[in-house]
């Protein structure tokens, strides 16, 4: 079906160029990165050298000043390629916007150029062992000490946990009795900061090439001018950026579901059972028709969100709906498509297996499906 997002000729040229880049620079090497549990640092430099990091950033910081649809293309094509552990969308469209939106001009000039070239990799540290979706319960603290802030606490499940050079850390700066929305601040912690250490890579069932880790802050000293925005505004900042963070997840899940359907259709046309193509069995036809209907409905919903978000509209509730439904649907699509592969679908040499495993996390991070439904219910006055 024709998409309702108005991609220009320039966007289409960019998409084709990015696809070729992924084939050249990632190609069939991705399984090696999965085995190592981390993406080589040099791939980030190649992304930067080719203009694929922070394409939206203004030219004065080294960016292209491009519209958000270029980010949409990067998110979609990475998901379609199956390189889910290359967390460039996190860097580009989740973490960097905090620096651009809430940072001072001095902070932007100090940090954004490196983020654009790939010399500086970003991470966001919100989740703690006892505070996942409930950000108001974080225990990491930050106390002022002269010309520095001293951080103490622990973060877990941090993407880009080992590669990151700058980590935006959410910490409590108010007393224990202060309202959460006024007791939290954001700090930029740089690689090598005293008292900042990283745990071993967390072994996961999926996203194996993603360097996920625990971060520890033991009297970690951070310069006072590394406070991002005014003190006490951290919770509000996080809430303001969740719409785009969740939309990034939605875009990836939708693109992955479409790719699953595409490769499975090709497979069932070639795979023979009882002397005829698997595609000629009514069960196969009915199942794929059902999945195609759901994927097409999802595309209509997602493209509408892309258009509204790019226009600056508040689609917080609709994004939560999509984060729940699109991500859950993508899991179902991958599962049902894998079934059509039979035993081959359970083998890692077939891409469908990676889509099946990697897609599972999408209903958990950036807000679980249960939390998304809770937010939607509240918006309905329930």
16 is catalytic: no
**C-alpha span between 161 and 155 (Å, rounded):** 10
Q: Choose among 164, 222, 167, 221: nearest CA to 39.
A: 164
Here the tokens at position 330 are 């993508």
CB 217 within 8 A of CB 153: yes
Q: Choose among 33, 21, 46, 41: nearest CA to 354.
A: 33
Instruction: State the sign of the Cα–Cα–Cα–Cα dihedral 199, 200, 201, 203.
Output: negative
Tokens 């006892």 locate to 130
CB 332 within 8 A of CB 219: no
Here the tokens at position 300 are 């209509």
| Active-site annotation holder among 76, 77, 245, 258 | 245
Q: Choose among 62, 53, 211, 38: nearest CA to 118.
A: 53
**C-alpha span between 135 and 217 (Å, rounded):** 18
Bin 306: left if φ > 0, else alpha if -120 < ψ < 50, else beta. alpha
Residues labelled as active-site residues: 245
């Amino acid at each position: 079906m024709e998409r309702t997002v108005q991609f220009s000729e320039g966007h289409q040229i960019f998409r084709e160029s990015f696809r070729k880049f992924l084939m050249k620079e990632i190609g069939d090497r991705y399984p090696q990165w999965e085995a190592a549990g981390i993406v080589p640092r040099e791939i980030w430099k190649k992304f930067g050298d080719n203009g694929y990091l922070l394409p939206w950033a203004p030219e004065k910081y080294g960016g292209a000043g491009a519209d958000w649809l270029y980010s949409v293309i990067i998110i979609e094509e990475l998901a379609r390629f199956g390189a889910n552990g290359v967390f460039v969308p996190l860097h580009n469209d989740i973490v960097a916007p905090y620096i651009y939106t809430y940072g001072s001009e001095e902070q932007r000039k100090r940090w954004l150029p490196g983020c654009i070239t790939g010399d500086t990799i970003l991470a966001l540290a919100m989740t703690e062992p006892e505070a996942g979706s409930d950000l108001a319960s974080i225990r990491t603290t930050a106390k002022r000490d002269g010309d520095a802030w001293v951080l103490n606490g622990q973060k877990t499940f941090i993407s880009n946990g080992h590669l990151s050079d700058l980590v935006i850390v959410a910490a409590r700066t108010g007393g224990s009795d202060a309202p959460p929305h006024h007791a939290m601040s954001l700090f930029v912690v740089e690689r090598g900061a005293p008292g900042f250490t990283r745990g071993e890579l967390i072994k996961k069932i999926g996203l194996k090439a993603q360097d996920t880790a625990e971060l520890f802050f033991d009297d970690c000293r951070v310069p006072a001018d590394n406070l991002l925005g005014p003190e006490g505004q951290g919770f509000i900042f996080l809430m303001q950026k969740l719409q785009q963070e969740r939309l990034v997840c939605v875009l990836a899940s939708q693109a992955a579901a479409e790719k699953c359907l595409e490769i499975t259709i090709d497979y069932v046309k070639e795979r023979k059972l009882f002397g005829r193509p698997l595609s000629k069995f009514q069960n196969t036809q009915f199942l794929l028709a059902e999945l195609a209907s759901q994927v097409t409905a999802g595309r209509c919903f997602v493209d509408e969100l892309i258009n509204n978000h790019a226009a600056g509209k508040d689609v917080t509730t609709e994004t939560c709906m999509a984060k729940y439904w699109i991500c859950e649907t993508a899991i179902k699509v991958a599962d049902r498509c894998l079934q059509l592969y039979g035993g081959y679908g359970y083998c890692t040499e077939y891409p469908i297996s990676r889509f099946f495993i990697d897609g599972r996390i999408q209903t958990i991070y950036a807000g679980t499906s249960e939390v998304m439904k809770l937010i939607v219910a509240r918006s309905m006055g329930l």
